[in-house]
């Protein structure tokens, strides 16, 4: 079996660490290089200590593009575009970007928005993928079935809490342990950067959608996972809403509609999205959840790679939830 040869750019962050954890054990992949200028020559396991004993790879400052079939860009937001504009990358190399840089549709690029529950067939044919944001993935999974039926006819209200790994590996005043532990806070209320891609996807399914998505993001006092509660006015009876959701996701590899009120640990360490519905008066409540580093980042990136190279979507992603 000829393996897919992979390069990783920006290899020292949380998303890169999770990506490497998956790819090292992926049966169809060979990692050719992991680029990090600041860590060049150091063993991968010195930065990603969870990989001790699993790889002998070292970081490199080199960029042997001619030796790979695909590149994962794990660069900081804004840096992927600079990287792409400053490098001569062979057209044959497929690219999956995990930053925000190419998520918005534009005549200036040919990146496909990489949410398989929305664009599976386009992803299969794509050469370049913009991996969705973590909040955006969890919120969109909650709303797609309604948009697909033209049923988003009122404002949507969203509260979502995320683990500290969503802030990235670089320490900040709101990510270090002493501040984050036993603490929560709101940030970027109503103007989070993921709202643009959410609106873009909803209008792809429901062209006349013009209502507000009132999004309140919350910093959680845990390390990983995103737990979303969304509600909107909806005339459907609960059982009819469940049928629409289950039909929409019947062929989804990783998104599941449950009849039992779920908890975050059911998705942590997996590439799953779980969706649950309740009806309260005229409001439909949708609970959705993902692991921000997996379905919200690296796991979804590998899912996209699998689709691009004609593999089963689930290949290499048989990850077990932490449970307890």
CA dihedral for 30, 320, 231, 119, sign (positive or negative): positive
Q: Is 74 a catalytic residue?
A: no
- Give Cα separations from 178 to 91, 128, 172, 185, 188 (angstroms): 47, 40, 11, 14, 22
Closest CA to 307 of 141, 121, 88, 148: 121
Where do the DSSP E strands lie in 121-177? Answer: 128-130, 156-162
Two tokens, residue 142: 């909650």
Cα–Cα distances in angstroms (integers) from residue 77 to residues 10, 162, 239, 248, 283, in the given order: 11, 18, 41, 32, 36
Residue 321: C-alpha distances to residues 235, 268, 299 (Å) = 35, 6, 13
For residues 307 and 124, is the Cβ–Cβ distance under 8 A?
yes
Q: What is the DSSP string of 37-88?
A: GGGTTSBHHHHSGGGTTT---BEES---GGG-SEEEE-PPTTHHHHHHHHS-
**CB neighbours (10 Å) of residue 128?**
20
What distances in angstroms separate CA 8 from CA 155, 171, 210, one per listed residue? 40, 22, 38
Catalytic residue chosen out of the listed positions 6, 9, 134, 195: 134
The residues that are catalytic are 134
């Amino acid at each position: 079996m000829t393996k897919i040869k992979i390069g990783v750019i920006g290899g020292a962050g949380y998303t890169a660490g999770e990506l490497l954890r998956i790819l090292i054990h992926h049966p169809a992949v060979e990692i050719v290089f992991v680029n990090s200028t600041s860590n060049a020559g150091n063993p991968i396991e010195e930065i990603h200590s969870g990989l001790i004993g699993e790889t002998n790879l070292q970081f490199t400052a080199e960029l042997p593009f001619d030796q790979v079939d695909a590149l994962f860009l794990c660069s900081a937001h804004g840096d992927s575009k600079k990287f792409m504009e400053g490098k001569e990358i062979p057209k044959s190399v497929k690219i999956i970007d995990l930053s925000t840089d190419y998520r918005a549709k534009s005549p200036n690029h040919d990146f496909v928005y990489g949410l398989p529950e929305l664009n599976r067939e386009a992803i299969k044919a794509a050469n370049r993928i913009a991996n969705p944001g973590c909040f955006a993935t969890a919120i969109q999974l909650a709303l797609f079935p309604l948009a697909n039926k033209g049923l988003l006819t009122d404002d949507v209200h969203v509260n979502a809490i995320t683990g500290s790994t969503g802030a990235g590996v670089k320490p900040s005043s709101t990510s270090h342990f002493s501040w984050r532990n036993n603490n929560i806070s709101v940030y970027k209320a109503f103007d989070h950067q993921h709202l643009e891609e959410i609106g873009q996807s909803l209008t792809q399914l429901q062209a006349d959608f013009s209502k507000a998505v009132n999004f309140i993001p919350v910093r959680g006092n845990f390390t990983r996972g995103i737990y979303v509660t969304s509600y909107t006015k909806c005339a459907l009876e609960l059982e009819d809403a469940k049928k629409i959701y289950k039909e929409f996701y019947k062929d989804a590899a990783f998104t599941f509609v449950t009849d039992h009120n779920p908890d975050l640990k059911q998705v942590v360490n997996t590439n799953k999205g779980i969706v649950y519905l309740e009806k309260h008066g005229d409001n439909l409540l949708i609970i959705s959840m993902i692991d921000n580093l997996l379905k919200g980042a690296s796991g979804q990136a590998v899912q996209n790679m699998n689709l691009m190279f004609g593999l089963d979507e689930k290949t290499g992603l048989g990850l077990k939830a932490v449970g307890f």
